[in-house]
Amino acid sequence: MNEVTKRFQAKLNIKSGRIDMTHGSGGRAMNDLIEQLFQKHFENDYLNQKNDQAILPALGANERIVMATDSHVVSPLFFPGGDIGALSVHGTVNDVAMSGAKPLYLSAGFILEEGFALADLEKIVISMAKAAREAGVAIVTGDTKVVEKGKGDGVFISTTGIGVVSIDLDISGANAKPGDAVLINGTIGDHGVAIMSHRENLAFETEIISDSASLNGVIADMVKAVPEINVLRDPTRGGLASTLNEIAQQSGVGIKLMEDDIPVRSDVHAACEFLGLDPLYVANEGKVIVICPQDKAETLLEIMRNHPLGQHAAQIGTVHEDPNHFVTMETAFGGARVVDWLNGEQLPRIC
Amino acid sequence: MKYVNEFRQKELAHKIAENIKAEVQPDRDYHIMEFCGGHTHAIFRYGVQDLMPKNVHYVHGPGCPVCVLPIPRIDNAIELCERHNVILCTYGDMMRVPASQKKSLIKAKAAGADVRMVYSTQNALELARQNPERDVVFFAIGFETTTPPTAIALQQARKERLMNFSVFCNHVLTPSAIGHILDSEDPQADAQVALDGFLGPSHVSSVIGTKPYEPAVEKYKKPVVIAGFEPLDVMQASLMLIRQINEGRCEVENEYHRVVTRDGNLKAQQLVAEVFELRDTFEWRGLGWMEKSALQIRAPFAQWDAEKRFELSKSTGRDVKGCACPDILRGMKKPTDCKLFGTICTPEDPQGACMVSSEGSCAAYWSYGRFRMDNKGSENAA
Amino acid sequence: MCLAIPVEVISTDPEKDTAMVSLDGIKKEISVALIDDVQVGDYVLLHVGYAINKISPQEAEKTLELMAESGLLAPSVQEQLS
């Protein structure tokens, strides 16, 4: 930013200011918002080009581009263990990383509601910037729109991620094979329960915090040691159950889980009892399902357990042949059941 | 989780399973109706039947308040928010239950109706306090367990003169339903298997006690064992029933002693009696019109009775053609006997109530038990 | 029907007829208007925000003991098996 523009620029009143329609008008107010908030915190060479696009370096000879996009509409915006800003980075970084790729760049689209406090927006932007730095990605381009009051929920953030993956890797939801092991890097349901504990009408007190995190670090370690990994996927909405059903369908296999081996925090379990929910269907934001040849399972578990995001890693099941592509589970009780897709929305149950 | 985990222990389950195996007579079948959806859910979620001998059959009963509510009542609830523009508060379970014309509360909400999911009647009262300019109606459903909290809300509303709050009362009574099932049992009918005994409700009984089941047991000579909702409770109570059946006894026994007594919760019963009275008749999905089987709000609370405050149409909504929910709710058919099961009726697009509620037997079969069926949807012998 | 769970009372507010209850670290304020004489340390059955009954620790213990018993003690069965 050169001296001339700085002198004639109004200072954004972050402390008590609010988003109004001018912030999305394409005029000066929007420019102020972009420069004083987004560019300031996201700060990187590509964004500093100040063009409508970012021109990125060429790929290496053995690399392919990986791209993923994700929109974030979480309520509440700030929750124990995270906020919509960090989540919007973690979600897309993870989607890119699930191919075994190294995520490099993000774009960020903001839909802001008229009246939204600039102080909250700044908190969110700072959190995004921090999450991006931690994940080693740069937010290189973006967009801002403002909708009238009542037509949004504070802020929606849409992020798109680009990464690169070696041509030698073939990791896909379609690659699970009979005999493979099914692993997870830790406890399930933390994110969903942390969010629900703050929902109106359901509110309860708990120490549970969201597991929202970028998994590209631990995934890079795993892929490096065991390039034979068949599937990586993050069980977000719909929980572990729905994600495994997706994989079973895509790969044309059956999956059998051992309930006793699935890591669930005792307070998450308790919260689920409170609400009549099943932790298998509750959302995660920092978990990865790994499906690999059984003889590689121990190596991968070891790598995960040595990483801060995988201390409770466990093998939770196996892949087998099944023309029905069922996900089944041996219950902790000794019986068997189907683990179906999530049907409808997870609504707390009373009866 | 104290009093939860102990009753889900694998080792004890196997112990009870051994006892059951030792005591069942191999040359006969045992048809046990679990009245409650809570039991159905436990049986399927934990895979209890995998531990039971093959000749012990669970027949799923009508004890799911979501399932037994007939379509006209749901039509009325939708009418309350769409035509009378009220804030309609409901427990989460009711949101997806199909009404007439493929509607449901969740679809009405999507179309602009103000439907709010609540966890407790206290949330509904709070909504009424926060929105004095709006009418707030609590869509009350459930058996005797869920009735006392509605009674408290009505008393509080009257005390606070909360005039914009009212209750659309659909509370129903368990003993009447059990009596009705036994009344309609026709021992001559080939299609129907006679029931040998009942697993009685757990949380309903914690409120009403075990006494109200005594007349039915006396009259119909079928044993009832009150059972908790944890899987070990279901197994132990099944064992107690098998013993009664083997010995030719017909008594009300109680496995769920830790919560249920013969008299139940007298304070809650008193509160319910102050606020509610018996309806002459009420329609149940599957069981039809039954006399003295439901509650209505007493005259002193008429101002808080949504049925008195709002004009409601006489809906003629009927179940989807071919839907076997009525027979399934009476234990006459299994979910897999229904032509719609798994074809046009699945949990994503439920046609009947038994597929909506996670405690409905169709949903339990589909979501937890599907691997036991062959491709034609009938059950494997294994 | 009727989802209900056992929770421990950790404090009471007789004025409001409410109690703070806990289940493995989850805490929630509930109504105790449906039961009498609630004490800290009691276990109650929680349903839709209300305690609907107390849980008897002695009876719970007895039920578990019964479950652990060998069913072969029943004389009628021993006869059949012999």
Q: What is the pLDDT of residues B44-53, one digit of tens each?
A: 999 999 999 9
Contact B65, B91 (CB under 8 A): no
- Where is mean pLDDT largest: A329-343, B241-255, B278-292? B241-255
Please name which of A27, A12, A6, A49 lies closest in space to residue A146, comparing C-alpha atoms. Answer: A27
Contact B197, B244 (CB under 8 A): yes
Interface subset of A 330-349, CB within 8 angstroms of B: 331-338, 340, 343-345, 347-349
Contact B106, B156 (CB under 8 A): no
3-state helix, strand, coil in chain A (%, to 5): 35, 25, 45
State whether B22 and C6 contact (CB < 8 Å).
no
Interface subset of B 26-55, CB within 8 angstroms of A: 37-38, 44-51
The residues facing A67 across adjacent strands are: A162
**Residues in A touching B44 (Cβ below 8 Å):** 337
Task: Assign A83 a pLDDT band (cuts: 50, 70, 90).
Answer: very high
Contact B231, B13 (CB under 8 A): yes
Report how far residue A268's alpha carbon sits from residue A12's, in angstroms, rounded to the nearest whole number.
42
User: How large is the average pLDDT for residues B356-372?
Assistant: 85
Task: Assign C81 a pLDDT band (cuts: 50, 70, 90).
Answer: very low
Share of chain B above pLDDT 90, in %: 73
Question: Does position A6 have pLDDT exceeding 80, yes or no?
Answer: no
Report how far residue A332's alpha carbon sits from residue A329's, in angstroms, rounded to the nearest whole number.
9
pLDDT value, residue B193: 58
State whether C23 and B271 contact (CB < 8 Å).
no
CB of A351 within 8 Å of a chain B CB? The answer is: yes
CB of B149 within 8 Å of a chain A CB? The answer is: no
The residues facing A102 across adjacent strands are: A164
Q: In what order do the strands lie in the sheet with B165-171?
A: B115-118, B87-91, B136-142, B165-171
Name chain C's partners: 3 or more CB pairs within 8 A.
A, B
Q: How many CB pairs under 8 A join A and B?
A: 104
CB of A269 within 8 Å of a chain B CB? The answer is: yes
Give A104's contacts (C-beta < 8 A, 6+ positions apart): A56, A136, A137, A138, A162, A163, A164
Report DSSP letters for C15-70, one per residue. TTTEEEEEETTEEEEEE-TTSS---TT-EEEEETTEEEEE--HHHHHHHHHHHHS-
State whether C48 and B146 contact (CB < 8 Å).
yes
Please tell me which of the candidates B36, B122, B142 has its beta carbon nearest to residue C31.
B122
Report how far residue A272's alpha carbon sits from residue A281's, in angstroms, rounded to the nearest whole number.
10
What is the torsion angle, in degrees rounded to the nearest 10, for the CA atoms of residue B217, residue B223, residue B224 and residue B230? 180
pLDDT value, residue A351: 54
| Chain C residue with the nearest C-alpha to that of B246 | C76
Task: Assign B375 a pLDDT band (cuts: 50, 70, 90).
Answer: very low
Helix (H, G, I), strand (E, B) or coil at A323: coil
Other CB atoms within 10 A of residue A302 CB: 12
Q: Tokens in use for A190?
A: 């933390």
Question: Does position C77 have pLDDT exceeding 50, yes or no?
Answer: no
Residue A237 C-alpha, separation from nearest chain C C-alpha, in angstroms = 23
Q: Tokens in use for A203?
A: 């509110």
Please tell me which of the candidates B19, B37, B236 has its beta carbon nearest to residue C70.
B19
Report DSSP letters for B225-271, one per residue. EE--SSHHHHHHHHHHHHHHHHHT---EEES-TTT--SS--HHHHHH
This prediction has a pTM of: 0.91
* Average predicted confidence (pLDDT) for chain B: 91
